[in-house]
Amino acid sequence: MMISRRDFLKNTSAALAAAGAIHPLLSWAADDSVVVPGKDGMIVRSLRFVDLEMPPEYANSFITPVPHFFVRNHMHEPSTLDAADWRLTIGGEVEKPLTLSLADLARLEAHTVTSTLECAGNGRAFQNPHVPGVQWQRGAVGTGRFTGPHLRDVLRRAGVKPAGKHVMFHGLDEVPGKVPPFIRSIPLEKATDADTLIALQMNGAALTKHHGFPARALVPGWVGAASCKWLSEIKVLDKEFAGNFMNPGYRMPNQPIKPGEAVKPEDTHPVTALGVKSIIASPTDGASLKSRSIHIQGAAWAGEADIAHVEISTDGGATWQAAQLGKDQAHYAWRLWSYTWKAPRSGDYTIRSRATDSQGHTQPATAVWNPSGYLYNAIDQVKIHVAA
Amino acid sequence: MLQRSRFALAALGLIVLATTCVPLLRAQSPELPPGPLQAKVTTACTECHEARIILQQRLGKPAWTKEVDKMIKWGAVVDPSDRDGFIEYLSANFPIDRPPYEAGKTSAQKKKK
């Protein structure tokens, strides 16, 4: 028996309607459907472009495993990346422009720098009033072990001319529409620092695509945006690169401004080093605990400075107790910290953490508001319920 | 008979698609809320980025105006007669006082058996 196309469509529509009716029974399919290869348990801020946030409870490991390392992309990741064909050009204010292959870079002396990377916009969601942008909360941060040649070794081979003052990075990310390309620059002084790398590896393995394979800049202690991924071009400039992601992007007002107040470009400066900050990894915000003995732990970092101490308050900030700092440390890396607290009775509590760095800077109660929500570093807090 | 079996198989395939892939796709790319401009905003904005970027914003009308104008400058195709409508739609649906957007999480990649 033949079935007409019309009948087929009619029957199919009925079948689809029935399928729709039973869809709630299969909603589990939606719960675990956001699969990003190589990433596990990450908060999805966006899939296109890929912007993934580490849940704060993962800030309990000195080295953040790659599956838990945040991803911040401004553009589409390169659609094709071939290690054999990839080249890095070095030009601009140099005596001898270079074109290097991955093998060329791998032949240079490799160095390893353990560094915390944090997105400049981490904590933007807590800015009051709200500002536009990816609404990161606590976890656009992680600590990795990056390996590769010193950027200064490559610059030395090219020979920076006296006019060269800034070093520009351009990656292979793909630009949609008329969006300006993601190009930024750093001052020559930071570019030639002994810890600034062209990183080829992260945590002992080749960079993954999300983290800039085959090579990325690693500008330790500075906002993540300085550490350009999928690096393809380095250009030495006589002045700061003039482009959207240097100005007006990634700039802070020189003086605090009121929300809505206009700020002139000449009254702003680029965001560079990270500030002092701590986050509470556990207990997690909203947790209900069955024991009054509570192990509080987290991580604290301070950009180019070191962490001097971390304090914990469980009484609304009236008193602060010193947390114990973890043994693992590296100049640009976060320090893990912990504090064991016995809640006096059952009830609701707010736990706060406050870090102070080696230069005497302490996390403020309220972060400085700015139009793009950069460098949010207010005292962290979680609210918990103790049921015991 | 064979023809009918093929159709039945095709229909079954569509049911499987509808029950698994459609929710899966929805989870991958959430939609903007209904409204007169929903289709136009979806077309203009999601050409470059997904709706999640919009769903998580909580902004006043002046900030939405700046965002819309920036995105038009960056290549979003918006008919000039729709610009104010875009701003109204976004301001009405994603105002400062709307509760925060609840973001999902990635799950581990299923292992091949």
- Which chain B residues contact residue A243 at CB under 8 A? none
**Which residues 66-105 on chain B approach chain A with CB closer than 8 angstroms?**
66-67, 73-76, 96, 100-101, 103-105
Distance from CA of B69 to the nearest CA of A (A): 13
Determine the pLDDT at residue B29: 77
Report helix, strand and coil shares of chain A as percent, to nearest 5.
15, 35, 50
Please report the pLDDT score of residue A33 as a whole number.
63
- For A71-84, write each residue's pLDDT tens digit: 999 999 999 999 99
B49–A48: do the CB atoms touch at under 8 Å? yes
Please report residues of B whose CB lies closer than 8 A to that of A40: 106-109
Residue with tokens 């993601």: A182
Q: What pLDDT does A372 receive? A: 96
Per-residue pLDDT for B11 more than 60? no
Residues B80 and B58 in one domain: yes
Q: Are B41 and B78 in a shared domain?
A: yes
Test B74 with A179 for CB contact under 8 angstroms. Answer: yes
pLDDT above 70 (res B109): no
Q: Residue B28: which pLDDT band, with cuts at 50, 70 and 90? A: low
Q: Estimate to the nearest angstrom the gap between the alpha carbon of A243 and the chain centroid.
A: 21
Question: Is the same domain home to B15 and B68?
Answer: no
In a domain, B113, yes or no: no
**Mean pLDDT of all residues in chain A?**
92
Concatenating the DSSP letter of every residue in A169-227 gives EEE-PBPPTTPPP-EEEEEHHHHTSTT-EEE-EETTEEPPGGGTTT-EEE-TTBBGGGS
Tell me which amino acid residue A111 is: H
Same domain, B90 and B51: yes
**B10 within a domain of the structure (yes/no):** yes
Q: Tell me, what's the pLDDT at B66?
A: 96
Averaged pLDDT score across all residues of chain B: 81
pLDDT computed for residue B21 by the predictor: 39
Residue B35 within any structural domain of the chain: yes
pLDDT tens string A217-235: 999 999 999 999 999 999 9
Burial category of B13 from C-beta neighbours within 10 Å (exposed 0-12, middle 13-18, buried 19 and up): exposed
CATH value at residue B90: 1.10.760.10
Q: Is residue B44 located within the same domain as residue B74? A: yes
Q: What is the pLDDT of residues A174-219, one digit of tens each?
A: 999 899 999 999 999 999 999 999 999 999 999 999 999 999 999 9
A–B interface: beta-carbon pairs under 8 A = 140
Residue B87 pLDDT more than 60?
yes
Percent share of chain B, pLDDT over 90 = 67
For residue A282, what are the β-bridge partners?
A297
**Domain limits for position B6:** 1-29
Q: Which DSSP category does B19 fall into? A: I
Put simply, whether B31 touches A (Cβ < 8 Å) is no
A45:B48 CB<8 A: no
Number of folded domains that form chain B: 2
Contact A11 B11 (CB under 8 A): yes
Residue A195 has a pLDDT of 98
Task: Search chain A and give the residue with CA nearest B67.
Answer: A132
Which residue of B76, B96, B109 is in closest CB contact with A35?
B109
pLDDT at A388: 80
- Residue A365 near residue A378, CB atoms below 8 Å: yes
The verdict on residue B18 lying in a domain is yes
Domain assignment present for B87: yes
Q: Determine whether the interchain pair B62/A260 forms a contact, defined as Cβ–Cβ distance below 8 Å.
A: yes
Residue B79 is given by DSSP the state -
pLDDT at A71: 98
Could you give the CA distance from residue A298 to residue A139 in angstroms, rounded to a whole number? Answer: 12
Determine the length of chain A.
388
pLDDT beyond 50 at B23:
no
Residues of B in contact with A181 (CB under 8 A): none
ipTM > 0.90, yes or no: no
Average pLDDT over residues A164-181: 96
pLDDT tens, A331-353? 999 999 999 999 999 999 999 99
B106 located within any domain:
no
Provide the pLDDT confidence category of residue B110 given band limits of 50, 70 and 90: low
Question: Are B36 and B89 in the same domain?
Answer: yes
Interface residue B23 vs chain A (CB under 8 A)? yes
Q: Is the pLDDT of residue A12 over 50?
A: no
Label residue B37 by pLDDT band (50, 70, 90): very high
- On whether both B17 and B36 belong to a single domain, the answer is no
B61 and A CB contact within 8 Å: no
Confidence of residue A384 (pLDDT cuts 50, 70, 90): very high
> Is the same domain home to B43 and B91?
yes
Please check whether residues B49 and B69 belong to one and the same domain.
yes
Determine the Cα–Cα distance for residues A244 and A184; give it in Å rounded to an integer: 9
Q: Which of A30, A42, A177 sits opposite B26 (nearest CB)?
A: A30
Is residue B91 in some structural domain? yes
Q: Which of A26, A44, A66, A69 would you mutate first to test chain B, the one with the most B CBs within 10 A?
A: A44
Q: Is the pLDDT of residue B1 over 80?
A: no
> Where do the domains of chain A lie, and which CATH numbers do they carry?
51-270 (3.90.420.10), 277-386 (2.60.40.650)
Cα–Cα distance measured from residue B64 to residue A132, given in angstroms and rounded to the nearest whole number: 9
Q: CB B106 to CB A41 under 8 A?
A: yes
Q: Tell me if B99 sits within 8 A of B76, measured CB to CB.
A: no
B2 and B49 in a single domain? The answer is: no
Mean pLDDT, to the nearest integer, of B53-78? 97
User: Worst-scoring range by mean pLDDT, A181-190, A267-276, B6-15?
Assistant: B6-15
Does residue B93 share a domain with residue B52?
yes
Tokens of A150: 């010193």
What per-residue confidence (pLDDT) applies to A58?
Answer: 98
> Which tops the pLDDT comparison, A261 or A159?
A159
Could you count the other beta carbons within 10 Å of the beta carbon of residue A161?
A: 12
Shortest Cα distance, chain A CAs vs residue B35, angstroms: 22
**For the residues A303-309, what does the mean pLDDT come to?**
98
Nearest to A253 by CA among A238, A235, A266: A266
Q: Where are the alpha helices (DSSP H) in B2-112?
A: 2-16, 22-28, 38-45, 52-55, 61-73, 83-93
Residue at B111 is within a domain: no
Q: How many other C-beta atoms can be found within 10 angstroms of the C-beta atom of residue A183?
A: 18
CA distance A276 to A304: 9
A383's tokens: 């609210």
Distance CA A112, CA A197 (A): 8
Q: Do residues B23 and B51 both lie within one domain?
A: no
